[in-house]
Structure 1
Amino acid sequence: MLDTKTGYLNEDGEEDSPYLLVRAAVSNKDDPSLPTLTFRFWLISIPFTVFVSVFNQIFSFRTLSIGISGIIIQLITLPIGRALHRWLPDRRVGLGPFGFSLNPGPFNAKEHALIVMCVGAGTGVAYAVYIITIKHIFYKEYTPILGSILLTVTTQCVGYGLAGVFYRFLVRSSAMIWPSTLVSVTLLRTFHEADEGRALGRTSRMRFFLLVTLASALYYFLPGYLMTMLSTVSVLCIAMPNNVLANRLGSYTKGMGLLSFSLDWNAMANPLMTPFWAIANTFAGFVLMAWIVWPVGYFSNVWNALDYPFYGARLYTDKAEPYPTLKLLNPDLSLNEERYAQVGAPRMSFMFAATYGVDFAVLSSVFMYVVLHHGSEILQYYRDARTIGDDIHARLMERYPTVPHAWYLGVLAVSTALAIFTCEYYGTGLPWWGVLLALLIAALFLLPVGIITAVANSAPALNVISEFVIGFILPGQPIANVTFKTYCTIGMDQALTFLADFKLGHYMKIPPRHMFIAQLTGTLVAGVCNVLAAYWMFNSMPDLCKSEAWYCRGTHVFFSASVIWGVIGPNRMFGSEGYYSVLMWFFLVGLLLPIPFWLLSRRYPTSWVKYISVPVILSSGGGSPPSYSGVYPMYMLMGVVFQFYLFRYRQKWWSRYNYVLSAGLDAGVAITSFIIFFALTRNNIELDWWGNQPDCPLLENTL
């Protein structure tokens, strides 16, 4: 690895990033005169944040969800920004020290990126809405809308204070690449910069992007509407439709995914923005779990696995009947011990139970991996925080005022205070100290998980460890359990989101204070809109989360987790009283697994062993449900083509077009998804034929 203290000179003799992935996407120059937090920013970002957050919340309930991605936001806001530049008067509005120009010049890349950050807060549906949904639909308990808004907004905002603490380590350092941001940087530069390649006779990146977008949009009518089976092609199910074993082995969505594949870009998890070593680790984890552990455990009848479905997240009694959760609850949603004694603890499919074991191992492996591979580096950061990790991009950002720590701490303090009030006043069952404990756990995990996310584009979640901790402390309290989980998990996740946006702004050279304002504004607006949209769905669709088209897969998994960890409690499931107590050993397994691979990498520092990442391997193995097995083989195949072969042997093409190709494919899918929904799906215009049958209909949908 190159020494980032001495800088790196590119082929033109200019100082640049020492990492090829960054050099391929990010400019090593900056124009500080470009305006960012403009009147146009507010005029575009607020309405779009409202629309995107409402749309994505509504359609997140669909079985096959539709969402507006960051790519489509960039596409739509580009012509609007340029139109406002032409139409708005060149006039300054005087408001004392807060005066501003209505039209401060051409619509530029920095301004565009800031709009994407603000509106992007609405692309991810607020996790707290899951709490509101399971209370309304499964637990039959109504929460006042103000309480739901406070719950959602506070869970979304507590992570900002945590993000400020680790800004220098996770953003400023050149080693923290954040691969997910590079596609956005490439697309923004494609839109706003002159393409020097056209003078050399190459296809311009903008022309390439438009051609890919057009081709992707036209093609997506096939898997998106005309022949949906192209999204989940399960060869064994097609060849032997009445053979249960073949269906379990080959189902893309309900089995092991053997010989299954997809011809739908939307189902491939976008491998074009993930380093190949991370893709290979992810696929190795999938093979280990889905093709070895799951079938061996299932067909060996471990935990009476043959009595339950092969794949799924539902809960059952020991007689393989649906678990009667609601019948075990008192009116205050606490566990009725007498009824529970009659029914007993729930049972899971072997796959679902094994996934929990892997999740335990992920958490302990993260800490060990980071200590072994980055421990000395982190200590050095603390010793020399002013210089470590600085490259050309960090030095260019020094001209802009940083965000004061008081801003971060202020948001954290206000959010925490409101969170405590919400939990106490609106009857979640989570006491004030539970909120503080959740935030403490999020803070402890943020640095190690942040390093893995910034390097490998893979983020282990805290949902299991948070459920585990509060389940032991407050057993028999499902709403308290999921509330604690949400503050803990989203406290860290929102911090990571904020840090990723800061890295995008770091690459685009946007003033940090403007980024903070844009991201926080988008989060507040989106959180309120998520809640309002969810309540509208509750009132307008009585069969929400119960019909085939609006099944709410994520909500069902969330509800099952609330039963396992909240109603029953981890001790009765995984502890000394538990049917699955052996899974507790996976904490120790995860702690020890990184050690031999680290020793091998020290013994053979130039071999491929140094690329083995135990947390990434285990994270992929714990991704199902709700992830589908068939995703991973195509993910690996695309990774071999683009992130290995083209990256190594066609490096000039890869540097010029890889991220543009990724953006174009995403944009085409998004455009056609809109057309299909508004023109066809919304009007109940459907095609009922063999090409649109569900994947492996012989198997029950047990998600």
Structure 2
Amino acid sequence: MDDSPIEQVRLTVPSTDDPTLQVLTFRLWILGVPLCILQSVLLRIASFRQQFVYISPASIDIFLFGGCNLLARVLPNKVVRIPGSRWSFSLNPCSFNIKEHIAMSIFVNSVGSPGFYNISIAKIFYRKEIHILPALLLVISTQFLGFGFAGLFLKVFVDSPYMWWPNVIASISLYRALHEQDKRPKGGLSRYQFFFIVFAVIFAYSIIPAYFFQSVTALSFVCWIWKDSITAQQIGSGMNGLGVGSISLDWMTMTSFLGSPLVLPSFAIFNRLIGFIVVAYIIIPFSYWSNAFEARKFPLFSTNIYDSQSHKYNVSRILDSNTTVTFNQEAYDKYSKIYFTTSLIYSYAFILAQYTSSISHITLFYGRSLWHKFKRAYKDDDELDVHGRLMKQNYKSIPQWWFYSILLSMIGMAILVCEGFGGQIQLRYWEVLLACALVFLFLPLECVLEAIAVGPYPRWPCAPAHLDHPRAGPGVNLAKQDVNDNDAYVVVCIGDQRMQTSVKKNSLNSEWNEDVSLSASSMPLNLLSLYKYIFMYVLGEKTFTSDDKMGDAELDLQPFVEVTKTDWDGLRDDTIIRFRTISQPFVEAKTA
């Protein structure tokens, strides 16, 4: 095959290669390592914000381009020898080149995968601390499993000229615009000039909705006309409704969910547009206003789950233990079944349908071709285009046994973490193997979708096979903390109001070393009807002392202390003990 069979590849990717260009330079390490750490920290912090701060790979590429060119100018061309060895390296071996730029970009952008979310979810939602060693091993194993699986399908989805990955094509255009000095046509612009003009225009346009006029993010004309109508808000709101008649002038808003229309193939854009119209403008409104699934009791669009009283579902009420986080069927039956909003019901339904429909779609349209390529790839009889031949000619391939070793060792590590360390992860070995089997089944399908149509699967929060060990999505811990000269004391909150409290020592107690009566004042009588929980915070390192003067008492919480039957000596500082109302004591002692 003389050239690529894909037109976009032929027009974008050069059919030449210079194997003499240096890649692993001193610049890559001194700039790439700090940026990799910084990118990781920023992404992790930003992922917990309600307004997610996203640093695009293109922004990093532009920063790297300027930073590395600056280093290429200021670093001396000096060879440094490593003491005690024959190794040496140059501080500035060559000018900054496109391969070095791409390698550094891959290096910095490789930190985007959220492998730590499981650890954070356990702490935020269930206040369950996982020891740092199993937590670290779990993150490492989940991250490296991806490299192992990637190697299994490398020849089919990377070497194949028909898998052209549109997102990568867009990045190649950027690298060529920055590094290639093409001649400017008479009366026209060079690629480099055109890029920076467009960059300046996009920056000037984007700063308007970002800082100066944020309302252009969603212009909801229906809501403006009928501003007091709930139905109009549900129909016209671009944030909490169907968005009928609502437009956005913010490019980030338009591309945040489906990606840039400049990259997506036209057939993928129209498929998504038709699907959105059918679901958002026909199925969801019909289901909501016909009160299917008791939809009228809940918001039209929301990712929250609710109980039968239209309140946000309190997951802790259906958990049996604060250490194993086990589902309690009896508590669930007494509390309420889970209710979803209409939008969330169909969102989950179509996500699950996407997995099954992708199997039938790819089998019918690409099945024979994929099976043929699988057989040819592993017989080393692959059909390469000019780019594949250049790679094979100029560079050694990664040995396949490397990927097998990574995959098998990481599966073993994952099983060790789940079965050992006192069962903190609460997964069995067969569940790990089942998860890997599902990846092996669906990864080729996702690769096909993303390689030809930029359409990967949405991330589905898979629950383990043990249905009595639930998992949840990210959330926010609203626990409050206070300090009083390191004396141990208790803060009582009902709702968002903090009560004045007082502590009285009565007699010694074998469980807590002191028999303590805890009380609170300044509490309106109707608070217990508005809020279902009283939050008692144990703060400080010492036991209660006689000089704790925290106000007068009207509400005695001693019955709660007696009901808990908790090992008080084992409680840590900042432990949250959540109680239900006086008539129905309920406790969960957890570390905040």
TM-score (norm 2): 0.75
Does the 8 Å contact 1:323/1:346 carry over to 2?
yes
Counterparts in 2 of 1:411-450, with a 5 A limit? Answer: 411-424=406-419, 425=421, 427-450=424-447
SS class of match (1:100)? strand
Counterparts in 2 of 1:303-452, with a 5 A limit? Answer: 303-331=293-321, 332-385=324-377, 386-399=380-393, 400-424=395-419, 425=421, 427-452=424-449
Deviation at 1:195, TM superposition (A): 1.5
**Which among 468, 473, 489 is matched to residue 476 of structure 1?**
468
Match in the other structure for 2:493:
none
Deviation at 1:389, TM superposition (A): 4.5
* Structure-1 separation of matches of 2:236 and 2:212: 23
1:519-538 CA-to-partner distances (Å, cap 9, x unmatched) read: xxxxxxxxxxxxxxx99999
SS class of match (1:257)? coil
Q: 1:208 to 1:536 in 2, by over 3 A?
A: farther
Structure 1 residue ranges without an equivalent (≥5): 1-5, 8-15, 487-533, 542-703
Deviation at 1:297, TM superposition (A): 0.9
AA at the equivalent of 1:317: D
**Which among 107, 115, 135 is matched to residue 96 of structure 2?**
107
1:215 aligns with 2:204: no
Does the 8 Å contact 1:55/1:67 carry over to 2?
no
AA at the equivalent of 2:392: E
* Structure-2 separation of matches of 1:378 and 1:417: 30
1:275-314 CA-to-partner distances (Å, cap 9, x unmatched) read: 1111111111111111111011111111111111111121
**Which among 26, 40, 44 is matched to residue 53 of structure 1?**
40
Deviation at 1:333, TM superposition (A): 1.1
AA at the equivalent of 2:401: A
Match in the other structure for 1:627:
none
Q: 1:97 to 1:267 in 2, by over 3 A?
A: farther
**Which among 281, 289, 297 is matched to residue 271 of structure 2?**
281
Deviation at 1:372, TM superposition (A): 0.8
* Structure-1 separation of matches of 2:382 and 2:477: 50
AA at the equivalent of 1:476: D
Deviation at 1:214, TM superposition (A): 1.7
Q: How many residues of Structure 1 are paired with residues of Structure 2 in the alignment?
A: 469
AA at the equivalent of 1:69: S
Does the 8 Å contact 1:175/1:389 carry over to 2?
no
SS class of match (2:340)? coil
Q: 1:306 to 1:375 in 2, by over 3 A?
A: same
1:67 aligns with 2:49: no
1:457 aligns with 2:443: no
Does the 8 Å contact 2:124/2:476 carry over to 1?
no
* Structure-2 separation of matches of 1:421 and 1:407: 21
Does the 8 Å contact 2:4/2:10 carry over to 1?
yes
More helix by share: 1
Match in the other structure for 1:119:
108
1:321-376 CA-to-partner distances (Å, cap 9, x unmatched) read: 32221111122211222211112320111221122221221111111111111111
Q: 1:315 to 1:383 in 2, by over 3 A?
A: closer
1:56-83 CA-to-partner distances (Å, cap 9, x unmatched) read: 2212222221122111111111122122
* Structure-2 separation of matches of 1:536 and 1:348: 22
* Structure-1 separation of matches of 2:148 and 2:93: 32
**Which among 170, 182, 185 is matched to residue 157 of structure 2?**
170
Match in the other structure for 1:228:
214
* Structure-2 separation of matches of 1:93 and 1:454: 43
TM-score (norm 1): 0.63
Does the 8 Å contact 2:351/2:460 carry over to 1?
no
* Structure with more relative contact order (C-alpha pairs < 8 Å, separation 6 or more): 1
Match in the other structure for 2:283:
293
* Structure-1 separation of matches of 2:214 and 2:348: 32
Does the 8 Å contact 2:376/2:382 carry over to 1?
yes
Counterparts in 2 of 1:657-676, with a 5 A limit? Answer: none
1:468-509 CA-to-partner distances (Å, cap 9, x unmatched) read: xx3xx3111024x88xxx9xxxxxxxxxxxxxxxxxxxxxxx
AA at the equivalent of 1:21: Q
Q: 1:74 to 1:201 in 2, by over 3 A?
A: same
Q: 1:356 to 1:144 in 2, by over 3 A?
A: same
Deviation at 1:272, TM superposition (A): 0.9
Deviation at 1:261, TM superposition (A): 1.7
* Structure-1 separation of matches of 2:385 and 2:457: 28
SS class of match (1:271)? coil
Deviation at 1:148, TM superposition (A): 2.9
1:64-122 CA-to-partner distances (Å, cap 9, x unmatched) read: 21122111111111122122222323233456675433322111000000000010113
Match in the other structure for 1:181:
168
* Structure-2 separation of matches of 1:92 and 1:415: 39
* Structure-1 separation of matches of 2:79 and 2:439: 45
1:266 aligns with 2:249: no
Q: 1:252 to 1:411 in 2, by over 3 A?
A: same
Does the 8 Å contact 1:423/1:430 carry over to 2?
yes
Q: 1:179 to 1:339 in 2, by over 3 A?
A: same
Q: 1:113 to 1:292 in 2, by over 3 A?
A: same
AA at the equivalent of 2:397: T
* Structure-2 separation of matches of 1:300 and 1:275: 37
SS class of match (2:73)? helix
Query: Which of the two has higher C-alpha Rg?
Result: 2
Deviation at 1:212, TM superposition (A): 1.8
More strand by share: 2
* Structure-2 separation of matches of 1:540 and 1:186: 51
Q: 1:70 to 1:58 in 2, by over 3 A?
A: same
AA at the equivalent of 1:40: R
SS class of match (2:262)? helix
AA at the equivalent of 2:95: P
Match in the other structure for 2:529:
none
**Which among 63, 75, 88 is matched to residue 76 of structure 1?**
63
1:131 aligns with 2:128: no
* Structure-1 separation of matches of 2:478 and 2:116: 12
Question: Pairwise CA RMSD of aligned residues?
Answer: 2.5
* Structure-1 separation of matches of 2:478 and 2:79: 43
Does the 8 Å contact 1:231/1:264 carry over to 2?
yes
SS class of match (1:268)? helix
Deviation at 1:421, TM superposition (A): 2.7
Identical-pair percentage: 31
